[in-house]
Amino acid sequence: MRKLDGGGGKPAKLLVCVNPISGSNKPCCGGRGSERLAEALEAGVRARRIDVAVERIHCLNKCHDGPSMRFAPGGSFLLGVQDGDLPAILDVLEARCGTRPAEDGLPFGAFYPGG
């Protein structure tokens, strides 16, 4: 995995490109297993109760370097992500975003009105 640095603040989201570029012989994130990576990251975020959203999107304009991800807003790109990179990505997310308390009474992913 390669990291292209961007902002270092607390990300609200981890964007995961899942674009398959159907019918094309061009390299793409979706064709390199990014859907599976997104599923594993979503499960890891839920299990650790990390206070961040994983959002599947259809292009980060880094097709040749995929699977591609980006901390948003305005954060670093993660390029060429593989299964073995996921624990380190989850560690970074947990360190930068924190976790939600288990006793907050809301189901994970619930909307906080006005917050």
CB 11 within 8 A of CB 76: no
- 94 versus 4: the higher-pLDDT residue is 94
If one counts the domains in the chain, the total is 1
Determine, yes or no, domain membership for 109. no
Structural domain of 35: 10-99
Determine, yes or no, domain membership for 115. no
Determine, yes or no, domain membership for 5. no
**Tokens encoding 61:** 């304009």
Determine, yes or no, domain membership for 110. no
Determine, yes or no, domain membership for 106. no
- 20 versus 55: the higher-pLDDT residue is 55
- Overall average pLDDT of the 12-38 stretch: 87
Determine, yes or no, domain membership for 1. no
Q: Is the pLDDT of residue 108 over 70?
A: no
pLDDT, residue 114, reads 45
Determine, yes or no, domain membership for 2. no
pLDDT digit string, tens, across residues 53-63: 999 999 999 98
Determine, yes or no, domain membership for 33. yes
